[in-house]
A and B are shown apart, each in its own frame.
Chain A
Amino acid sequence: MALESAETKIVPGALDPAAIDEPEDEVFEKRRIGVLAWIGIGWLGLVVLIAILAPLLPIKSPTLGDYVHPQAGMFTPGHILGSDDSGRDVLSRVIWGARASLLISLGSIAFGTLIGGLLGLIAGFKGGVTDTVLSAFFNIFLAFPQLVLALTLVSVLAPVKNSGGASSGEWAHRILVVILAVGIVSVPLLGRITRASAISWSQREFVMAARAQGATNRRVMFREVLPNVMPAMLSIALLGVAIVLVLEGALAVFGVSIQEPDPSWGNMIYSQLSNLNSAPTVWIVPSVLIFVSVLALNYLGDVVRARFDVRESAL
């Protein structure tokens, strides 16, 4: 059946009336993304939805301690996912923590994709001196270990104040600082990938054909090259979101991510480093969330690449 459909759809004999009458949507039938990808999308959608709706959900305060039930285990009445050593509800904390973690990972990758993608596109398309300068810039940044660079940037941009209870303004400021720091770290990564892809697409004949029709460089870059580079960029960006989810945890270990008492998935794990055994749910729950989300993002990254990779040889 697969062969049969391949024959009728991939090579639409232009003068063959049977091929012309084929319903449009069937042409794309064989490009379905699969059940696993939908599970991944569903999971991420759920996490994002819950994070957005956190203030409306009937959950306990993430920062107020319940001193009657500290370190409650799983399925304790009132604390379905347990509570930490101050008696704060783990369910509530992972939901509110998702806001911070997702904002940081999506925000920083959006920043990195925008800036890195643009620089990479320009470097790959223009070549020559522009490329040399931009590539040198990328390489210098890549030479630093990501974590060290992110740590340095966060510390420089906003030193941690030990003032205790954080206001919501301070929370937003912290998020912005972490987004900026991690975003800067991701610029060269996305820049390099985009540059490599842009180089190969810029040398294609259709780019010359567009120039030969009188298109300006800017037009050729954004209309001809960029759409072809997008799949590679998106796929790496999705992986990047996953990497940043983990990186946020690492930053939390060094105490420069979201500050207590506000939760993020990273600092929830870190906060229980001293009593891993007595209240395991506090670090297991966010760890599992990070793990599943990273898995989903990784898989979706691959799917995006396979789905949008329009190669003439494959068609």
Chain B
Amino acid sequence: MDLGINDIKEITSAMSEYPDMDYSNYSMSFLKRRLSYAFALLNLRRVNQLPERLKDPNFRDKLISNLSVDATEMFRDPAVWRLIRDKVLSDMPKESEKIWFPAEANGAEVFSLSIILHESGLTDNYKLICQSPSIIRCNSINDGAISAGNNEINQTNYKRLENQNAYNSYFETADGQINLLPYYRRNIECLNECFLSKPLAENSAALIMFRNISLYYNHKLTKTAFRLLTKALVKGGYLVIGIKERLPEDLIDEFEVIDANENIYRKTATINSRNHA
């Protein structure tokens, strides 16, 4: 379906009648193609059919799930994971045990970190809290399910980390479905919530993973989201964003740059201080 701007406005307006379905501040190019993609999967042929279909909670969940973009593969950008393993984990603030994945799509990010925590002997020091507005996505993450199609690239990325274990030792395969073994996800919990309406409490997260998520937001929503994340971080906590994303300018002073290429930031000990190291 080729959606015009007016169609998109009509669609986002109908969706925003429901909780956690306000997509009006997503970028236009994203909505144009992703709504077409989701509508095709859901067999929706005309925009005016949408309000009726939206009354069905199962339809709404499938729509949210289809609009959610996978962070592609596990250990995407291996250099980021290497830095987390070698630099960030040894310097985490002690006052929080929470690692937050505000908009986890397919588990690729949280499972990657879980494996790294295991290999660092730190699994039981942390709780990995994910949020997703889609029940389908949440259940899949809580089951440790990974996309079989990504298995090869996951494995290649893992090898680039120069880890000692065998990638396959972390997973079980049954009926073509690959799942992270329960032992390695005992500290993972996915909550069926949208972080924008239910963010983590202020000063409560030691590390936030928010890679390649603001890509789909417009400038306004990007600012709103990053402000929530900054508030939720404890002082000295870390924020990791996608290598092609930028922090909004009004928040730059709240962070020190740990690695400019891999976009790893640390919330400065004194907010708004320009004299940090």
- Do the two shown chains form a genuine complex with each other? no
A positions within 8 Å CB-CB of B: none
Interface residues, chain B, CB within 8 Å of chain A? none
